[in-house]
Structure 1
Amino acid sequence: MDAITGELRPGSADQTPSDPNNYKYELQCHLGGGDFDSVCLRRQIECTNGPDGQEGIPVIWYSMPRGVPGAVWSIHSGPTCLYDAQPEDLLPRIAADIQRQFESLPINAGTLVAQPSPHTLRGAETNFYADAQEQQFDVTMFGQKVHVVATPVQYTWNYGDGTVFGPQPSMGGPLPQERWGEKTRTSHVYAQTGDFQVVLTTSFQGTYSVNDGPPLPIPGQGQFSAPSQAVSVWRSITRNYADDCNVNPRGQGCPGVPSSQ
């Protein structure tokens, strides 16, 4: 945050902000100069529940579009509490460290599903899809309450046979059993038999807010991998027979008859 203008500028100087707005805060009942609204002061929120029990200051957050001639500040959110005697000194530090914090969160990459599973056929389309959800976390950074929202945006599939698909925006989706074997956006054809470990990696985009302030974009994405899932690829053999097991109960493929290779 600029100590003179009060504008909040997340990230380092060499990063281009992806949020179209600038932000600043003002004391909840401040009228400008040394004047305060006495009626507002009687209704002013109490800020006594900060990290480690410290007191905070009640503020209103304002936003203004970047690069728009004649733009003016307007109320964005609040009133809310800001915890620190000099919070403007901490907000740039939080912005500089938020990417590392984001990547260290226990974000669930989602569930990987294969159809059919756990066995599929060589040369056939095996449908894979993911089930990933938005997640929210509350952490403390430099003594401030930080709320993080992580949203899945891209998916990478490592099919275990040397083939990698992604990152791309489709999580895929389930097929009814009668349609198994159809080609889908995220399906894969195995050329060899064997057991393969399939890994889903989900890319999340995040936002963060400090002490219930305005949500700000986290500059980079975080990549998180789901536990690998084993898929066994079998080969299929097709044989034609002149009669069925009612006519010839000793025929190949009938109950109790040993299979031939």
Structure 2
Amino acid sequence: MTKTLSLLLVAAMSIALEAQTPASPQAPDPAMTPGSTQTGSHPPAATDAATPQASQKTAQLQAASVQAELTKEIDSKKARIGDEVHAKTVSEAKLPDGTQLPKGTKLVGNVVEVRAKSKHQDSSHLVLALNRAVLKDGQEMPIRSAVTSMTAPAASANFDMARAGGAMGGAPAGGSANAGGSATGAASPSTTAPAMSGGAMSSGMSNPQQSATGEMLKSSQDRVAVGNKPKVMLSAPTTPESASVLDAQGEDISLESGTKFTVNVASTKGLGEGV
């Protein structure tokens, strides 16, 4: 009887593990979850779950929020899988393990997935990785990262608005001739800038640069617009190897040099990961 119960218990555990296996690659890294720096509640990635020691290290991984910007343009029409991604920090940062990232630290990665808009596919897709930091002395450090917010340069915003503003130009003028107050109120909903927290939305059309900041991802299931590019949506990474997932409907994804982003960064030196 005891032997039979033991066999049933082993079988049940095997079934439970098998049921969890397909979901593992889709689970974001625990420390990389937007809005948090450490958690043990999410299942570890499949590559980290090979040993109990690796799983424990994954659960202990901590990340810090870092401000950075792209130093090289990325375009879904031209990019290829494996192309390098280049960025740099725009302020000093200190990781939870004590590692200092001076202003100007290079963040390097690659294009993981890319799909350009085409006649048969009216959307584009881009997945980027940032997997190492290059300090000013040339020393390289392996990292994991997750972009939580992204904003295109103001010049890009002004160009996009000018390109799309021809049809809008006559409406505010007619409105102001009839009733200035109502025209001002009607102008606000017509802006294509992404929604902002607090009262930022009220100044949408009066100053595009004020309403340009991209929203912040608050969970691994969240999806927000890139600042100044309302058709480009940012999602949380789904694997430890990726830092950001971008999708656009009806257009290609073009991230100019100078695109700013907030990224959770964690050193993986303790995990034995190379560069």
Between structure 1 and structure 2, the one with the greater Rg is 1
The higher relative CO (CA closer than 8 Å, separation ≥ 6) is in 2
- Normalized per residue, which structure has more helix? 2
TM-score (norm 1): 0.25
